[in-house]
């Protein structure tokens, strides 16, 4: 059988200084990378263009369909420059937050001046109320708002610490009015389109309008835009996720900022809720942040980290993500190999521990009824693979929603669409020449499965397809076929 058929949950790796050469990226692909994430909070366009070129070449050499996800920075709430030594803050200190590059207008008497990013100062000072909380450095430093005079704010420290340059800010409990897409994001978005990225991750999503906005912008300039991954980290999105899930092409549980926004104690529950909601609709979901954090500097994970990855698998996640572990850590390849082993071990035990409930076909959906039936037939007949002939990828994603024990093989003639299936649970892909209506599709399926090592003579396979037209959105057939049988 195919070497990768055992692992169903996909692996997303952030690329960076430790993983940008041909040798490094080829090693990660060999170890199990399915989606390469490029973090546009760092790096120049020239740097990212070089990495994209290397990914495509390494994937071609490996014979794999690797997706590239461009992670847009979004509005960065940050402190400004505070000098080489930073600023020591203690409980009771009063700070004047003002736009970097300007001169404070409020009195500095008895107050410490702390610059914040100029582009966000007016917006957040307009949104924030006296008594609200502003956190710095992933919540390590906590302050309470005492006075607001846009674009300036006076806050009092209630949990101190050392504040250094450009540390992040969070405003838990304060709905923010600023747009998801900044001027930088719009330039990055154009770059992503020009370089053919497969997905764009949208940071700090608040509501469905944010998803609709980026989709509208992309549709205006592209006939086949990248898929949109909504990063769920803001409180507004966590409280009302349903419309976001329906509108986005995929979700990411961005647990870093989420923990600061809602408290670490709520994150495991929210993770399970979001995964379950996505599973119900067949929307791919990525679980991210600090999954194997200790492997940035150590060749083995902690027990807690191994449990974290396994529990995400049991919850029903489609993919798990590495951040600094693969971007800047000492052991990128070892980390991917470790993550892959944890996933496979967890998947072996999924009957006992998995929280994934049986999905039901959506009423009135022919493709959902066909793919649900295919999963059931494959299980009952002991088929070695379910082959989905699909043009848009919808049939394969729908089949993945039903979590069959049998490997899913998407067979299609569009490489771009095939790469986008890298986010979907259990789906592996085979690229074929363009199909025409007169082709004997069953002979073709048998041939590609045998050639790629997915099936041998006398194996049973299940095939789903749209016949006779082979047009987009026409899946209407499920067939059980024995490899090598004379009659097709």
Same domain, residue pair 143 and 199: no
Strand partners, 136: 141, 169
Q: What is the CATH number of the domain that holds 195?
A: 3.20.20.60
CA 479 vs CA 9, 212, 274, 386, 392: distances in Å: 26, 38, 34, 10, 20
> What pLDDT sits at residue 2?
40
* Number of structural domains found in the chain: 3
Same domain, residue pair 290 and 333: yes
Same domain, residue pair 218 and 103: no
CA-based nearest residue to 159, from 140, 138, 134: 140
Q: What is the DSSP string of 153-202?
A: EEEEEEE-EEE-TT-BEE-TT----S-SS-HHHHHHHHHHHHTT-SEEEE
Q: What is the DSSP string of 42-56?
A: SS-HHHHHHHHHHHH
Q: Which residue among 8, 37, 167, 255 is the active-site one? A: 37
pLDDT grade for 3, boundaries at 50, 70 and 90: very low
Same domain, residue pair 451 and 317: no
pLDDT per residue as tens digits for the range 407-440: 999 999 899 999 999 999 999 999 988 776 656 8
Distance CA 420, CA 390 (A): 13
Answer yes or no: is 396 within a domain.
yes
> What pLDDT sits at residue 475?
85
Provide, rounded to the nearest whole percent, the portion of the chain with pLDDT above 70: 95
Same domain, residue pair 66 and 201: yes
CA-based nearest residue to 202, from 165, 169, 251, 162: 251
pLDDT of 355 over the 80 cut: no
Average pLDDT score over residue span 70-97: 94
Q: Which residue among 78, 266, 341, 482 is the active-site one? A: 78
6 or 263, higher pLDDT: 263
Answer yes or no: is 81 within a domain.
no
pLDDT per residue as tens digits for the range 236-261: 999 999 999 999 999 999 999 999 99
Same domain, residue pair 208 and 161: no
Same domain, residue pair 205 and 344: yes
Q: Which residue among 7, 8, 231, 419 is the active-site one? A: 231
Same domain, residue pair 102 and 58: no
Answer yes or no: is 357 within a domain.
no
pLDDT per residue as tens digits for the range 434-475: 776 656 888 889 999 999 888 999 999 999 988 765 566 678
Q: Which of 137, 170, 203 is the last residue of a domain?
A: 170
CA-based nearest residue to 65, from 74, 52, 76, 56: 56
389 SS3 class: strand
- For residue 213, give both structure tokens: 């906005």
> What pLDDT sits at residue 200?
98
Same domain, residue pair 252 and 309: yes
CA-based nearest residue to 476, from 463, 484, 465, 460: 465
pLDDT grade for 364, boundaries at 50, 70 and 90: confident
**Is 231 a known active-site residue?**
yes
Average pLDDT score over residue span 129-137: 96
Same domain, residue pair 186 and 330: yes
**Is 289 a known active-site residue?**
yes
pLDDT, the chain, mean: 93
Distance CA 359, CA 356 (A): 8
> What pLDDT sits at residue 472?
64
Q: Which of 117, 150, 170 is the last residue of a domain?
A: 170
pLDDT of 82 over the 70 cut: yes
Q: Could you tell me the residue range of the domain that residue 423 belongs to?
A: 366-482
Q: Which residue among 182, 289, 394, 406 is the active-site one? A: 289
């Amino acid at each position: 059988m195919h070497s990768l058929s055992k692992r169903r949950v996909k692996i997303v790796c952030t690329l960076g200084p430790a993983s940008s050469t041909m040798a490094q990226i080829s090693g990660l692909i060999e170890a199990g990378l399915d989606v390469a994430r490029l973090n546009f909070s760092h790096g120049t366009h020239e740097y990212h263009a070089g990495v994209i070129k290397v990914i495509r070449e390494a994937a071609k050499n490996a014979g794999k369909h690797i997706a590239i996800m461009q992670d847009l920075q979004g509005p960065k709430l940050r402190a400004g420059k505070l000098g080489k030594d930073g600023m020591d803050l203690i409980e009771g200190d009063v700070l004047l937050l003002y736009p970097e590059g300007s001169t404070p207008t409020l009195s500095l008497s008895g107050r410490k001046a702390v610059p914040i990013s100029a582009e966000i100062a007016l917006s957040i000072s307009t949104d924030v109320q006296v008594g609200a909380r502003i956190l710095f450095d992933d919540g390590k430093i906590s302050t309470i708002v005492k006075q607001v005079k846009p674009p300036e704010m006076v806050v009092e420290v209630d949990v101190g610490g050392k504040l250094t340059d450009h540390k992040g800010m969070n405003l838990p409990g304060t709905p923010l009015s600023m747009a998801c897409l900044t001027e930088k994001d719009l330039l990055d978005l154009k770059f992503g389109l020009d370089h053919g990225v497969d997905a764009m991750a949208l940071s700090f999503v608040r509501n469905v309008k944010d998803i609709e906005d980026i989709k509208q912008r992309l549709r205006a300039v592209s006939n086949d835009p990248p898929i949109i991954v909504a990063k769920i980290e803001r409180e507004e999105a966590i409280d009302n996720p349903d419309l976001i899930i329906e509108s986005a092409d995929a979700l990411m549980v961005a647990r870093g900022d989420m923990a600061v926004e809602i408290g670490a104690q709520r994150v495991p529950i929210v993770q399970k809720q979001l995964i379950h909601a996505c599973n119900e609709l067949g929307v791919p979901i990525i679980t991210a942040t600090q999954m194997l954090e200790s492997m940035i500097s150590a060749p083995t994970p902690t027990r807690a980290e191994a449990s974290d990855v396994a529990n995400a698998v049991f919850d029903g996640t489609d993919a798990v993500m590495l951040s600094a572990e693969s971007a800047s850590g000492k052991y990128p390849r070892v980390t991917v190999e470790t993550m892959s082993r944890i996933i496979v071990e967890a998947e072996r035990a999924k009957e006992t521990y998995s929280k994934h409930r049986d999905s039901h076909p959506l009423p009135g959906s022919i493709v959902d009824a066909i793919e649900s039936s295919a999963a059931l037939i494959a299980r009952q007949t002991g088929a070695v693979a379910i082959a989905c002939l699909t043009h848009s990828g919808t049939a394969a994603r729908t089949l993945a929603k039903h979590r069959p024990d049998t490997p899913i093989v998407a067979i299609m003639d569009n490489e771009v669409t095939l790469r986008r299936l890298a986010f979907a649970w259990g789906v592996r892909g085979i690229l074929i020449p363009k199909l025409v209506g007169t082709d004997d599709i069953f002979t073709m399926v048998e041939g590609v499965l045998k050639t790629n090592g997915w099936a041998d003579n006398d194996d049973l396979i299940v095939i789903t397809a749209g016949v006779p037209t082979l047009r987009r959105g026409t899946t209407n057939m499920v067939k059980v076929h024995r490899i090598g049988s004379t009659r097709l």
